[in-house]
């Protein structure tokens, strides 16, 4: 009985930790706190970084950055390895929402 209780408690705790990992996210405007490959990808854009939102799903982190350059704003999605996964202009996003 005691072992079964310990096993069930362990499974519940493991589920809570996994669920917390699924929803892990954070907002930063301090690029120096990001992983080096992500910093390099953002620097390669030669744009002002307004905001970065980090999210983790299934153990994989992605970084969605709002950038400004030449009077245009766009969103850049970067993997933790520094690979640029997606680039969208803010105007394009506003038109999709209509």
The per-residue pLDDT for range 30-68, each reduced to its tens digit, is: 889 999 999 999 999 999 999 999 999 888 999 999 999
Mean pLDDT of the chain: 77
Expressed as residue numbers, the domain containing 74 is 25-97
Instruction: Answer yes or no: are the C-beta atoms of 12 and 55 closer than 8 Å.
Output: no
Domain assignment present for 19: no
Domain assignment present for 29: yes
Q: Which has the higher per-residue pLDDT, 49 or 13?
A: 49
How many domains does the chain divide into? 1
Instruction: Answer yes or no: are the C-beta atoms of 52 and 28 closer than 8 Å.
Output: yes
Domain assignment present for 1: no
Whether residue 70 has pLDDT greater than 70: yes
The CATH number that applies at residue 44 is 3.10.450.360
Q: Are strands 48-57 and 25-28 parallel, antiparallel or unpaired?
A: antiparallel
| Closest alpha carbon to 72 in 55, 93, 56, 53 | 93
Task: Report the C-alpha gap between 98 and 95 in whole angstroms.
Answer: 5
Reduced 3-state DSSP string for 21-77: HHCCEEEECCHHHCCHHHHHHHHHCCCEEEEEEEEEECCEEEEEEEEEECCEEEEEE
pTM for the predicted model, two decimal places: 0.66
Domain assignment present for 3: no
């Amino acid at each position: 009985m005691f072992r079964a209780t310990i096993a069930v408690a362990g499974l519940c705790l493991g589920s809570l930790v996994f669920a917390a990992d699924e929803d892990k996210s954070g907002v930063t405007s301090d690029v120096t706190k990001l992983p080096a490959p992500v910093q390099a990808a953002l620097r390669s854009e030669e744009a002002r970084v307004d905001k970065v939102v980090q999210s983790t799903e299934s153990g994989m982190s992605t970084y969605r950055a709002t950038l400004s350059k030449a009077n245009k704003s766009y969103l850049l999605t970067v993997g933790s390895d520094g690979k640029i996964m997606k680039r969208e202009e803010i105007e394009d996003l506003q038109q999709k929402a209509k």
